Amino acid sequence: MAQPEKKAGLLKRTSSSKKPLKEKVLLMYEQIFTEDPSKSNPRFWDELFLMKVNLEYLEGKLESLDGDEVMKVKDNINSLFQHCVQALAEEHQIRVVNALQTLCALFRGVHQKNRSATGFDIINMLMGFDKAELRMKELMESLDALLCGDGSQSLKSLCLKLLLCLVTVTDNISQNTILEYVMINSIFEAILQILSDVSSRAQHGYDAVVLLALLVNYRKYESVNPYIVKLSIVDDEPTLDGMGMVIHHALTEYNRQYRDKEEENQGGFFSTLTSMVGSMFIADADEKLSVQTNEAILLALYEAVHLNRNFITVLAQSHPEMDMAAAPAVPVPSSPATPLGTTPPSLDLMNNPELPLDPNLQTSNLLITFLKYSSIVMQDTKDEHRLNSARLCLIILTCIAEDQYADAFLHDDNMNFRVNLHRMPMRHRKKALDKNIPSRPLVCAVLDLMVEFIITHMMKEFPMDLYVRCIQIIHKLICYQKKCRVRMHYTWRELWSALINLLKFLLSNETILLSKHNIFQLALQVVNLFNMFITYGDTFLPTPSSYDELYYEIIRMHQVFDNLYCMVLRVSTNAGQWKEPASKVTHALVNVRAIINHFNPKIESYAAVNHISQLSEDQVLEVVRSNYDTLTLKLQDALDQFERYSEQPREAGFFKELVRSISLNVRKNVSLSTMSQDVLLKEFSSIS
């Protein structure tokens, strides 16, 4: 009995001492990095693309090679690249899938190892200088054919993932020399075809729009970018609508995620405690409500609005406002895990551009969804990503506000919408109920958003740049109203009050703010807004009583304007860097001071004659109305003029950093996926 036990023990030891067998594909990879594999096996390349790609091993191997080792196997890497490109034209779908994934590993692996190398060195490592133009032409033609053909949707998705991988392998996409070949061999038409077709848009619209936004930003300030030129002249309605739908649903998804988180934080013990204690926990609540911003889709919206005037019409196209969470589910192809807020929208909504209209259903459009998105990201600008998003939102609104067609539909009294903007929690105000929001022209929602920003960001870390943009947007909208004599029934008092409180904040924090910012530029903008109302208010304010109320607010808050005048006079009479900008504010205040100096004595006289210690608003307004005739104001030039938005050179630095951040995020998301290998292989194995 003892002998068999000994034998069993020996057998056990022998089996455990065996080395694990390597996958065949790993052995084949090792051959590529040591010798010309086709010499020992003429069918090597045919067999390789039937093997499941080991992305991790292949990328790791490429990253582990030093400079000398790379040069030794350069010809083999070039040959691998060549056979990948050739495999894309094969009918056997498994080979195409494996070739696409191998190309992704090649692009990533070579770039990871050689981050300090020039673009030309990387091209030489991958393809060889002499063959690069031909190889990239063949690659781009194959990708174009796959994207435009009637083949598998999963294969099209893989093509887009490869292109996103290629575009984002460098932190700065403008340093990615391989993209020169993507400029020469354009896939712009393939992207447009995806966006114009309902089915392909639902599957791939998100990746297509992000890819286009990135390609548009390749060396956009240094050379002629064909994607910029082509995007600027697109006038095909289905294509523009398709792009708008992809952006709309991505922003809708963000808004829905935020609303869901907001609802999670309402009710229960936390809500009760917060209401009892006040605002102690508001900061914590905001932390919990943080949803990752989606700068990539916002960049796509910016490029569309900025470059293509035809896209402006897409902003206003109405459709039913649907709750994406409540929409019926449809099968979604497997895609990589993406962070909250960057998830491509559900496919059912993009599949149904024409939904049945319910007369009781609130209608929406891309602009409304964008305004809601802006109201969320602009609440908290302390985080860098949200600050960038807020800045980009204001840049987009700047482009919209100075477009004549956009202004026309913003102010159209026949296009009224109920826009529920998100508002920052504040102790002194209650949360507005959705049902109390009136249905108004969209310009009212834009102005509400600007007022909301003004009153909620007066803080130590003062976002001066955002405030300047905010005031500029208001100014451009008022210039349009003055020019076209549009009388908007808007609660102008809220705007005037916000602007006066902003001036008050600048005065109270003069020393701290002046160490970082030119506060006189912002003060001048605010004062000139008041000058616009004073000089031209009779052409666009809704009623004569609105004009009276403007004067009432200026007189009521005269102390703020008096203090501002004293401050700018003090600074402008002393030598220093702020002398000139302060003197401009001094001159701009001439009519505001004339109003205060004209009416205040008359109000005091009225109070004395009638033995009233404190006048009511109606009594002050009576004094104002009866003393207009004797008021003398100076006509100020160029109040209704503004500098049009220009990206270059002022915004170039911002967009370079923004695109770098987006590129890093896209690269991370593409890397997370392994392109859903098992699902793909299973699908194409069954086809074969």
Q: Which of 126, 17, 14 is nearest to 65 (CA)?
A: 126
Residue-level pLDDT at 54? 86
- Contact between 208 and 194 under an 8 Å Cβ cutoff? The reply is yes
Residue-level pLDDT at 107? 92
Give residue for tokens 């929602």: 445
* Region for residue 396 given its phi and psi (left: phi exceeds 0; alpha: psi -120 to 50; beta: otherwise): alpha
Q: Which amino acid, 503?
A: L
Mean pLDDT, rounded, of the chain: 84
Residue-level pLDDT at 272? 45
DSSP letters of 348-384?
Answer: HHHH-SSPPPPTTSPEE-HHHHHHHHHHHHTT--SSH
Q: Which residue has the higher pLDDT, 350 or 395?
A: 395
Q: What band does 622 get if pLDDT is binned at 50, 70 and 90?
A: very high
Residue-level pLDDT at 327? 36
Residue 137 has which token pair? 């032409």
| Residue 70 scores a pLDDT above 80 | no
Residue 342 has which token pair? 């960057």
Q: What band does 324 get if pLDDT is binned at 50, 70 and 90?
A: very low
* CA separation for the pair 352, 322 (Å, rounded): 12
Q: How many residues does the chain have?
A: 688
Residue 455 has which token pair? 């009153």
Q: Which of 544, 566, 549 is nearest to 492 (CA)?
A: 549
Residue-level pLDDT at 348? 43
Q: Which of 107, 120, 122 is nearest to 169 (CA)?
A: 107
Burial of 186 (0-12, 13-18, 19+ CB in 10 A): middle
Q: 133-147, 311-325, 669-683 — which is least confidently predicted?
A: 669-683
What is the pLDDT averaged over residues 332-336?
37
| Residue 434 scores a pLDDT above 60 | no
Q: 38-52, 163-177, 512-526, 619-633 — which is least confidently predicted?
A: 38-52
Question: pLDDT tens-digit profile of 87-105?
Answer: 999 888 889 999 999 999 9
* CA separation for the pair 373, 306 (Å, rounded): 19
Which residues touch 554 (CB under 8 Å, ≥6 apart)? 530, 561, 592, 595, 596
Query: What dihedral do alpha carbons 599, 602, 604, 609 form, nearest 10°?
Result: -160
- Contact between 227 and 182 under an 8 Å Cβ cutoff? The reply is no
Q: What percent of the chain has pLDDT over 90?
A: 60
| Residue 339 scores a pLDDT above 50 | no
| Residue 346 scores a pLDDT above 90 | no
Question: pLDDT tens-digit profile of 236-268?
Answer: 999 999 999 999 999 999 999 998 888 777 654
Q: Which residue has the higher pLDDT, 610 or 308?
A: 308
